[in-house]
């Protein structure tokens, strides 16, 4: 997808906005718009969830409505409080405040009452069949199912058995509550779906209060209805559930929430499945859920992505009815665009080479005024120390330069950014012939802003004053996978991990203004990219993450 056709796609209303505007115009629900974002707290949120958050909260904002955060915590086995906390934090960090924070588990008593109501109305029954027996009678998409031998139990018997299920009288797997829907429906999900199962498991919120838990079809739509959600937006895999969603609401006679579906968003060179992400974490392929290479919201935050960039990206890609892979470069485009506005400019040398300016007085330091951010009129300035000994980038020097190399080499000139022009006179080398120090002269009349030297160097390079430099560890990240779509590759996704996704530079030298940097601070290191201070930083050691390079090297390489 190119940036251009995305623009076209999003200029008009998307299909959900059209539905909502029609509903408002028709006075449906009194013109009220109420959405929800319903994560299951079984992992950290990823970039796919971010699109769903931006969509649900964005619609509420756009139409003066509300959006709830609801934890779909009906499965006691996989859920944890750690995930709940991280999800709340991520939603707020993205810039959205839930109208309410609710838990489906708080509705367990109410959902139980709903189930009893369905039984009383003859729309649910207790089935003693095993999972295999149920599957055997289910039929196939082209062949109708057959009724369970327990389908015609009396209401009284069903009420009694269901209550005893709740009391814990029956073992796991021996009984279920099923909807008495339509065993001949072409929609397999309508063939008497399970509503409740027995599970003797401790729940992260309700503890051991329950030993029966509602299934998705007995929980999701009902929770929407309890909250008077008007537009329940989910991803396409729930299309076949829409019929039972409506069926339950109709049979129960409760608030008629409506379900709408959109396509999942997947980002290239990564995966968005909590199960696979959990595997990456548990098997140590990455260093935790917030490892900056991960596609989780917490990892993107730690890597230095901004909430603004993610929101703008989500807005730009819009929504679709068919699944597609969104190019990671587009996300990086929005990250650069935002960081360009807000990141402080600084100089850092990742692979330092010493420069000694032989005609600069020993012991002298001058302070050169430098803009913090030329893109920000209120960005202010800082004083950069300059002296006789500096660090420059190894890459910016070549002793025997090829014809197109315009950086520093013996006898050539280079401008030191915001400072002076220097000339390299002599190269000091170690026993292996590797340059260890450049002895240079500077031109005092060439100071930036008041240059009267008349010299025209072909290059400007960055530098850091050696005695003032702050050593740091810099982590350079690349894509986590070597192929565009690791989730749909015939090879196992673990085989497709990019072995070079993390490079650690241990001896970087940063300009002294970084001394006050705290985790989350964002910088543009001149000529190198956008960087942020990592949470691993201590008072002894700064750790810096590269958020994104200045330009998109991958797209260029692909041609
Ligand atoms: P995963 O497959 O990663 O475990 P999930 O769908 O099981 O995701 P939930 O916690 O159930 O995760 O998802 C919460 C909401 O986020 C749901 O409405 C779901 O449809 C939506 N969502 C999940 N993944 C994506 C995605 N890749 N793109 C858009 N929306 C998504
Ligand atoms: Mg799920």
CA-nearest of 480, 486, 474 to 501 is 480
DSSP code per residue over 336-361: HHHHHHHPEEE-EESSEEEEEETTSP
> How many other β-carbons are positioned within 10 Å of the β-carbon of residue 140?
8
Q: Is the CB of 49 under 6 A from ligand 1?
A: yes
Q: Is the CB of 273 under 6 A from ligand 1?
A: yes
Fold of 348-462: Ribosomal Protein L25; Chain P (2.40.240)
Confidence at residue 9, expressed as pLDDT on a 0 to 100 scale: 46
Q: Is residue 333 helix, strand or coil?
A: helix
Q: How does residue 553 score in pLDDT terms, banded at 50, 70 and 90? A: low
pLDDT digits (tens, 9 = 90+) for 407-441: 999 999 999 999 999 999 999 999 999 999 999 99
| Size of the chain in residues | 559
Q: How does residue 5 score in pLDDT terms, banded at 50, 70 and 90? A: very low
The hierarchical CATH code for the domain 3-262 is: 3.40.50.620
* Domain ranges, ordered by start, for the chain: 3-262, 274-344+472-558, 348-462
Distance 216 CA to ligand 2 centre (A): 10
> How many other β-carbons are positioned within 10 Å of the β-carbon of residue 380?
10
Parallel/antiparallel/unpaired status of strands 231-235 and 258-262: parallel
pLDDT digits (tens, 9 = 90+) for 453-473: 999 999 999 999 999 999 999
The closest-lying atom of ligand 1 relative to the alpha carbon of residue 41 is 10
Residues 248 and 182: their CA atoms lie apart, in Å, by 13
Confidence at residue 7, expressed as pLDDT on a 0 to 100 scale: 45
pLDDT at 267 over 70: yes
Is the separation of the CB atoms in 340 and 549 below 8 Å? no
Helix axes 328-342, 307-317, angle to 10 degrees: 140
With pLDDT > 90 as the criterion, what percentage of the chain qualifies? 90
DSSP code per residue over 210-223: -SEEE-HHHHHHHH
Distances, alpha carbon 460 to alpha carbons 395, 406, 407, in Å: 13, 10, 8
**What average pLDDT is seen over the chain?**
94
Please tell me the residue having the least CA distance from ligand 1 atom 3: 273
Phi, psi of 311 (to 5 degrees): -65, -45
Is 17 designated active site? Answer: no
pLDDT at 442 over 50: yes
Q: Is the CB of 274 under 6 A from ligand 1?
A: yes
The alpha carbon of 12 is separated from its chain's Cα centroid by a whole number of angstroms, namely 26
pLDDT digits (tens, 9 = 90+) for 18-52: 999 999 999 999 999 999 999 999 999 999 999 99
User: Vertex 479, ends 478 and 481: CA angle to 5°?
Assistant: 140
CA-nearest of 534, 505, 540 to 520 is 534
Q: How does residue 1 score in pLDDT terms, banded at 50, 70 and 90? A: very low
Pick from 48, 53, 58, 72 the residue to mutate for probing ligand 1's pocket: most ligand atoms within 8 Å of its CB.
48
pLDDT at 551 over 70: yes
Q: How does residue 81 score in pLDDT terms, banded at 50, 70 and 90? A: confident
Residues 196 and 212: their CA atoms lie apart, in Å, by 6
pLDDT digits (tens, 9 = 90+) for 210-226: 999 999 999 999 999 99
Please tell me the residue having the least CA distance from ligand 1 atom 27: 48
Task: Given the residues 264, 276, 417, 527, select the one marked as catalytic.
Answer: 264
Q: Is the CB of 40 under 6 A from ligand 1?
A: yes
Residues 392 and 388: their CA atoms lie apart, in Å, by 13
The hierarchical CATH code for the domain 274-344+472-558 is: 2.40.240.10
Confidence at residue 323, expressed as pLDDT on a 0 to 100 scale: 84
- Residue scoring higher pLDDT (14 or 232): 232
Q: Is residue 553 helix, strand or coil?
A: helix
Phi, psi of 298 (to 5 degrees): -65, -35
Is the separation of the CB atoms in 160 and 127 below 8 Å? no
Please tell me the residue having the least CA distance from ligand 1 atom 29: 264
Parallel/antiparallel/unpaired status of strands 324-326 and 265-267: parallel
Q: Is the CB of 323 under 6 A from ligand 1?
A: no
Q: How far apart are the first and last CA of the chain?
A: 15
pLDDT at 64 over 50: yes
pLDDT at 556 over 60: no
> How many other β-carbons are positioned within 10 Å of the β-carbon of residue 450?
7
Here the contacts of 12-17 (C-beta below 8 Å, separation 24 or greater) are: 14/318, 14/319, 15/319, 15/321, 16/55, 16/59, 16/231, 16/233, 16/260, 16/262, 16/319, 17/59, 17/62
pLDDT digits (tens, 9 = 90+) for 477-489: 999 999 999 999 9
- Catalogue the E-assigned strands of 208-285: 212-214, 231-235, 258-262, 265-267
Confidence at residue 413, expressed as pLDDT on a 0 to 100 scale: 95
Parallel/antiparallel/unpaired status of strands 348-349 and 352-357: unpaired
Phi, psi of 190 (to 5 degrees): -80, -10
What is the pLDDT averaged over residues 302-324?
A: 93
Residue 328: which H helix or E strand, with range?
helix 328-342
Is 274 designated active site? Answer: yes
Contacts for 174 with CB less than 8 Å, ≥ 6 apart: 128, 198
User: Vertex 462, ends 458 and 464: CA angle to 5°?
Assistant: 145
DSSP 528: T
Confidence at residue 137, expressed as pLDDT on a 0 to 100 scale: 97
Distance 11 CA to ligand 2 centre (A): 31
Is 21 designated active site? Answer: no
Contacts for 457 with CB less than 8 Å, ≥ 6 apart: 412, 413, 414, 415, 421
Q: How does residue 279 score in pLDDT terms, banded at 50, 70 and 90? A: very high
Is the separation of the CB atoms in 392 and 353 below 8 Å? yes
Task: Given the residues 9, 17, 40, 163, select the one marked as catalytic.
Answer: 40
Q: What are the helix and strand counts (H, E) for the chain?
A: 14, 27
CA-nearest of 313, 235, 285, 266 to 486 is 266
Helix axes 3-11, 307-317, angle to 10 degrees: 70
pLDDT at 8 over 50: no
Confidence at residue 404, expressed as pLDDT on a 0 to 100 scale: 85
Q: Is the CB of 287 under 6 A from ligand 1?
A: no
- Asked whether the domain spanning 348-462 has the same topology as the one spanning 3-262, the reply is no
Sign of CA dihedral 497, 500, 501, 503: positive
Q: How does residue 11 score in pLDDT terms, banded at 50, 70 and 90? A: low
Residue 505: which H helix or E strand, with range?
strand 502-510
């Amino acid at each position: 997808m190119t940036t251009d056709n995305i623009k076209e796609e999003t200029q008009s209303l998307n299909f959900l906005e059209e539905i909502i505007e029609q509903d408002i115009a028709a006075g449906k629900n009194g013109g009220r718009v109420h959405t929800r974002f319903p994560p299951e707290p079984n992992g950290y949120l990823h970039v796919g969830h971010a699109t769903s958050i931006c969509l649900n909260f964005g619609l509420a904002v756009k139409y003066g409505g509300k959006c709830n955060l609801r934890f779909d915590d009906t499965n006691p086995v996989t859920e944890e409080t750690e995930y709940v906390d991280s999800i709340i934090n991520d939603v707020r960090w993205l810039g959205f405040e839930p109208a309410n924070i609710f838990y489906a588990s708080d509705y367990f008593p109410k959902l139980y009452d709903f189930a009893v109501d369905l039984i009383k109305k003859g729309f649910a029954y207790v089935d003693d069949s095993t999972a295999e027996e149920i599957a055997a009678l289910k039929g196939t998409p082209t062949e109708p199912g057959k009724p369970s031998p327990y389908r015609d139990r009396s209401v009284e018997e069903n009420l009694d058995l269901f209550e005893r299920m709740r009391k814990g009288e029956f073992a796991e797997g021996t009984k279920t509550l099923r909807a008495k829907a339509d065993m001949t429906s072409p929609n397999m999900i309508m063939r008497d779906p399970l509503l409740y199962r027995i599970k003797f498991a401790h729940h992260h919120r309700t503890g051991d209060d329950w030993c029966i838990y509602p299934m998705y079809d007995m929980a999701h739509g009902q929770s929407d209805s309890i909250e008077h959600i008007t537009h329940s937006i989910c991803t396409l895999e729930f299309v076949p559930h829409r019929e039972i969603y409506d069926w339950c609401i109709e049979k129960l006679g409760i608030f008629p929430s409506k379900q709408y579906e959109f396509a999942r968003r997947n980002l290239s060179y990564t995966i968005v499945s909590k199960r696979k992400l959990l595997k990456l974490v548990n098997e140590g392929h990455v260093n935790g859920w917030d490892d900056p290479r991960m596609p989780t919201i917490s990892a993107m935050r730690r890597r230095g992505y901004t909430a603004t960039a993610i929101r703008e990206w989500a807005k730009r890609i819009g929504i679709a009815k068919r699944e597609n892979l969104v190019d990671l470069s587009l996300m990086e485009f929005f990250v650069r665009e935002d960081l360009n506005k807000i990141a402080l400019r600084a100089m850092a040398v990742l692979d330092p080479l010493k420069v000694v300016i032989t005609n600069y007085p020993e012991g002298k330091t001058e302070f050169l005024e430098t803009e913090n951010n030329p893109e920000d009129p209120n960005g202010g300035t800082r004083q950069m120390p300059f002296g006789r000994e500096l660090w420059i980038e190894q890459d910016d020097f070549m002793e025997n330069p090829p014809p197109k190399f315009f950086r520093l080499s013996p006898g050539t000139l280079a401008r030191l950014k915001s400072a002076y022009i220097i000339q390299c006179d002599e190269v000091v080398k170690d026993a292996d012939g590797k340059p260890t120090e450049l002895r240079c002269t500077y031109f005092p009349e060439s100071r930036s802003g008041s240059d009267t030297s008349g010299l025209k160097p072909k290059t400007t390079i960055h530098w850091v004053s050696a005695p003032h430099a702050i050593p740091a560890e810099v982590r350079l990240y690349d894509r986590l996978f070597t192929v565009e779509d690791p989730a749909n590759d015939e090879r196992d996704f673990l085989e497709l991990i990019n072995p070079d996704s993390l490079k650690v530079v241990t001896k970087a030298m940063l300009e002294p203004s970084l001394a006050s940097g705290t985790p989350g601070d964002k910088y543009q290191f001149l000529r190198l990219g956008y960087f942020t201070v990592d949470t691993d930083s201590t008072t002894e050691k700064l750790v810096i993450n590269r958020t994104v390079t200045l330009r998109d090297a991958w797209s260029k390489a692909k041609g």
